[in-house]
Chains A and B, each alone.
Chain A
Amino acid sequence: MRKSFFEASARERLLGLVDAGSFREFIPPEARVSSPHMAMLDQPVAFDDGLIAGAATLDGRAVLIAAQEGAFLGGAIGEVHGAKLVGLIERARVERPAAVLFLFDSGGVRLHEANAGLIAVSEIIRAVLAARAGGLRFIGLIGGAGGCFGGAGLIARCCDALVMSEEGRLAMSGPEVIETVRGVEEFDSRDRALVWRVTGGKHRYLLGEADALVVDDVAAFRAAAVGLLDTPVGLSLESVEREHALLAERWHRFGASDDAPEIWRALGVPADEDVAMMGAEEFVAMAARCTGRSA
């Protein structure tokens, strides 16, 4: 019985992902550590500030895990939400779990907390990279309605590996923001097919930004996360130089493109493959066959 990752709340996703009964929450909702900034804006708070974090096991292995509630203020990162993530990472540096798992569902910096949110995001980025330099493994999972944008998209691309569903979106600026500032020709945010071609899981997978592409199912996300528990760790000059070469080549090859299909064709996907309509497993198999990308 499939359980939609997209439809589930952050708590449901987290509990469905980890081994049954293994989750221990840190700063639980009854602690009422909520945003101190919402009252000034006459806005409601969430008991957990929209970020659930704690320890669990995944396939019997110790993990620390955090899930963003995309329905609360767009999953955006404010002072408390951000500090919970930084604290979790600092704890990871002491406890050395097999991985730190982030279930992203966020528009980035919480505008309602502006400066506090921006500083928090930068502290998370620094904490992730310092921890990775020390050999800790970060796995991001993206498949919620809010996508993974802004500061959250930066944190995601600082992780060791990413799992995305087709429904997941990963980018810097949201299409609506680009359309508002640059006009509808630059990015028609209501053209859903375009939005998914440019920011969606399948495109990110073909580009190599996502390591796994799964169906919209909590169990599928779990399996993919388990499969990534032994990915190589560490942040070395060599690995960063490799990424640099890859990104430079991508810019030179595709810097004149403005839509995905020409990039996919150049990567080896035949023009008549209906990428949008394929199911996740069929798509991953096609990508392996046509682009040489290992599944």
Chain B
Amino acid sequence: MKRDEMLNALFPAGWEPAALEQDYFEGRAAVGASTVTVIGTGARAEVGADLALRMAAAVLETVRKRPGEPILFLLDTQGQRLRRRDELLGLNGYMAHLAKCVEIARGGGHVILSVVYGEAVSGGYLTTGMMADACYAFGDAEIKVMNLPAMARITKIPLERLESLAERSPVFSPGVANYHRMGHLSEVWTEDHAGHLAAALDELRSMDAASRGIDRRLEAGAARGGRKLAAAVVERMRSDG
């Protein structure tokens, strides 16, 4: 889904943008009976140091000025910006900083949700949406590590093999249903997006902060059968030796 259609779907009564640019938007919106901070990327945004910094600033502003206000990430990104200049300045550090800001917000009692509405790729998603208390996606969205031709080049596995695997293997397929099955996504929304968002927020708000902050994706992946080994390995690491 494109950004404006998505914004109408989630906020049918409108929202208050503080910034609305092609690749970045932020503001506040009503979700159910609450007001949330909205931080979003659009048009398959490239996340460079400056965009990471902007998103971090938006998180910190909410922490400083609006205690307890939930933060909602809305994402459509092609991943990290691929530029020498961003690497020179330490792009990974800017992105890690954004993750730290989200963790501070979480620790300060802010509910954090994320919704992928377009595409979410690797570095553009790892320290934003994937840091949420709970992650969601629209039914037609995609989440992926890298495009298949690039993966074929780097792994030396023939592209045809990867394409065939992407159709049937949960590990390679970018469909969001996989990410649900593997435990990462809490839900996939195909209609009544605003209703689902309000229900998700209510559910998260009803939990106490400590419980909400526990990353349950490993358990979910095991329970749903998409990631069978990881949870068992974690359990064994905790008790081995």
- B-binding residues in A (CB < 8 A): 24-27, 33, 36-37, 40-41, 53-55, 79-80, 82-84, 86-88, 90-91, 94, 109, 111-123, 125-127, 129-130, 133, 150-151, 153-154, 156-158, 170-173, 175, 177-178, 180-182, 186-187, 198-199, 203-204, 207, 209, 235-237, 240-241, 243-244, 247-248, 250-251, 254-255, 257-260, 263
Partner of A119 from B85, B86, B221 at Cβ < 8 Å: B221
The 3 A-B pairs of least Cβ separation, nearest first, read A87-B237, A157-B96, A83-B233
Chain B interface residue count, CB cutoff 8 Å, equals 80
A240 to B89, CA, bound (A): 18
Q: Is the CB of A129 within 8 A of B99?
A: yes
Which residues of the other chain, A, contact B65 by a CB distance below 8 angstroms? none
Q: Is the CB of A122 within 8 A of B230?
A: no
Interface check B32, CB cutoff 8 A: no
Q: Is the CB of B101 within 8 A of A244?
A: yes
Pull 12 A–B residue pairs with CB atoms less than 8 Å apart, ordered by A: A36-B229, A114-B144, A115-B143, A150-B123, A177-B150, A181-B150, A236-B104, A237-B108, A241-B60, A247-B49, A247-B53, A263-B88
Q: Is the CB of A235 within 8 A of B104?
A: yes
Within the complex, the shortest CB–CB distance from B97 to chain A, in Å, comes to 6
Within the complex, the shortest CB–CB distance from A191 to chain B, in Å, comes to 11
Q: Is the CB of A87 within 8 A of B171?
A: no
Partner of B233 from A33, A55, A259 at Cβ < 8 Å: A33
Partner of B230 from A54, A82, A250 at Cβ < 8 Å: A82
Encoded as 1 (CB less than 8 Å from any A CB) or 0, chain B from 126 to 143 comes to 110011000000000001
Which residues of the other chain, B, contact A90 by a CB distance below 8 angstroms? 234, 237-238
Q: Is the CB of A123 within 8 A of B218?
A: yes
